[in-house]
Amino acid sequence: MPQSPLQSPSPCLPRLFSNPRADHERAYGPSERAILSRAAFEEAMAEIGAWPGYAPTPLRSLPGLAREAGIDRLWYKDESTRFALGSFKALGGAYAVLRLLAREVTARVPGVPVTALDLVVGRYASITRGMTVATATDGNHGRSVAWGAQVFGCACVVYVPAACSAGRRAAIEAYGARLVVVDGSYDDAVRRAAADAAAAGWLIVSDTSYTGYMDVPRDVMQGYSVMVEEAISQLPASERPTHVFVQGGVGALPAAVCGHLWESWGRQRPRFVVVEPHNADCLYQSAVAGRPTRSDGDLDTVMAGLACGEVSLLAWAILERGADDFLTIPDEGAVTTMRKLAEGRHGGRPIIAGESGVAGLAGLLCAAAHEEFRLALGLAPDARVLVFGTEGATDSEVYERIVGLAPEAVAAG
């Protein structure tokens, strides 16, 4: 593995850093289980699996794109139908809202277990109506938190960066949340939400962790593990993946996937590749530096949900030894991949996928197109790759502008 970045002279090609701290012999130990564990997963699965409308999302085989990538198998976990939100984020933000409200109610009514049903039917409405949850988001996480607040009976304030699209803002407000637009980046919105919440006595529900704030982001990540376990159960019994490519952001998603596979499969876990935009590469920069490090990019990327400049500390604690490679890609990689899925070039019916949700798949295709990256990543002809398509068209106008067709037209074939 290269221990210095592999970089093409062209900005249209990937950058790769293979992590010298990755260790497939290392057991998933107590320090990792304190963040994510199968025991906590079982609790999340029992809860989320009982929610109305829960059903495992499909794991799709993409033989056409597997041939294009020169590999044996390619599986795509399609989150475009997850609950009513069209994104894996429904598993994290809403679950964290439930857990947080249950803890707060229990603190006020000692000795009484609080269930999701209690909150849904308003048994403790006299308490929860006086509570407000707040979060920062580029779109999907805020929508999930707003949905959870509406379902479980509290108020919600969502902070978005100025670049957040009108469609994603409207989707958040549709669940009754108050929207605050921050003149700055996602990271600026995180800081503003934390400051306002501290002043007003609100409860923060963030998907990123930082010093002094760990419990809720842990719940968010644990909720994501439901998606990972579904994928494990849907894979052919004799065909485990050799590689997993997952998009980055603050690191919560890749840490959830990496941690769950690491604990479940140990030394037999797949090679794990984290994918980010060139201009929002905090995980890549952290891997190169060997410590949590800000992105030095301007965060301007079509992959809006990945436009994050600072790493989640909890996520980094998993990824610093669990992730094998860190890859960054240009925006055109995500755009081209969205169009290939919409056109059915994967070998099946069209798939509607959002610009952030395709980043892992785009990373695979970008890397596979160049021999030096194929060799560095071990993408041999017998490779079997799992990717997570984490969102559908969560903003129809943005999707149509990128793909050239409305989601409804793509779905109609």
Residues annotated catalytic, as ranges: 89, 138
Tokens of 292: 């949590």
Element (DSSP H or E) covering residue 179:
strand 178-182
In which element (H, E) is residue 203 found? strand 203-204
- What does 99-165 look like in DSSP terms, one character per residue? HHHHHHHHHHSTT----HHHHHTTTTHHHHTT-EEEEE-SSHHHHHHHHHHHHHT-EEEEEEETTS-
Cα three-residue angle 75-89-145, rounded to 5 degrees: 175
Cβ–Cβ < 8 Å for 35, 259: yes
- What are the Cα distances from residue 308, in Å, to 43, 173, 249, 325? 29, 22, 6, 19
- Please state the φ and ψ torsions of residue 245, each to the nearest 5 degrees: -110, 125
Tokens at 160, concatenated: 């978005």
Residues 6+ positions from 53 with CB-CB distance below 8 Å: 83, 84
Return the structure tokens found at 64.
Answer: 């056409």
Q: Which of 285, 287, 263 is nearest to 1 (CA)?
A: 287
Q: Which residues of 174-184 are buried (b: 16+ CB within 10 A; e: fewer)?
A: ebebebeebee
Report yes or no: 379 and 228 within 8 Å, Cβ to Cβ: no
Of 394, 412, 279, 299, which Cα lies nearest the Cα of 350?
A: 412
